[in-house]
Structure 1
């Protein structure tokens, strides 16, 4: 099966940016957003600080987002490590 046909890949836009809640999921949203990465927000932010996960792009004010390409690469790398 190719990367494009995996259930996770279908949730990721082709281009653009993703918020932390699109990546980690949001149980409080209506409807709830399922996570792409099954980790906590704290673990994700610690991974960014350590360089394990990609850094966000500042879009303005308090708005940070991650490049879709970076998240796709992260998922691919995590899958290859297993």
Structure 2
């Protein structure tokens, strides 16, 4: 079944780098490793990302930090 994304907003690699504070190289490394949201191919040399997926990825990193701090505190 095909999933429809209503109101999906696509953002550029430049915007992804700004939001995450990661370099283009690091974003691509994480993508290849399957540790970052997949890109949407727009053309032969152009990709974009679903904004909500990138923001969710950032939120996961923040939540992971909080969990690690709690684990360190409990130790």
TM-based fold match above 0.5: yes
| TM-score, normalised with respect to structure 2 | 0.69
Look up the match of 1:53.
Answer: 36
Look up the match of 1:36.
Answer: 19
Matched residue SS, 1:51: coil
Q: Which has the higher helix share?
A: 2
In 1, distance between residues paired with 2:61 and 2:37? 12
Q: Which runs of 4+ in 1 moved over 4 A?
A: none
CA RMSD of aligned residues (A): 1.5
Q: Which structure: larger Rg? A: 2
Task: Give unpaired runs (5+ residues) of structure 2.
Answer: 1-6, 66-75
In 1, distance between residues paired with 2:13 and 2:19? 10
Count of residues paired in the alignment = 59
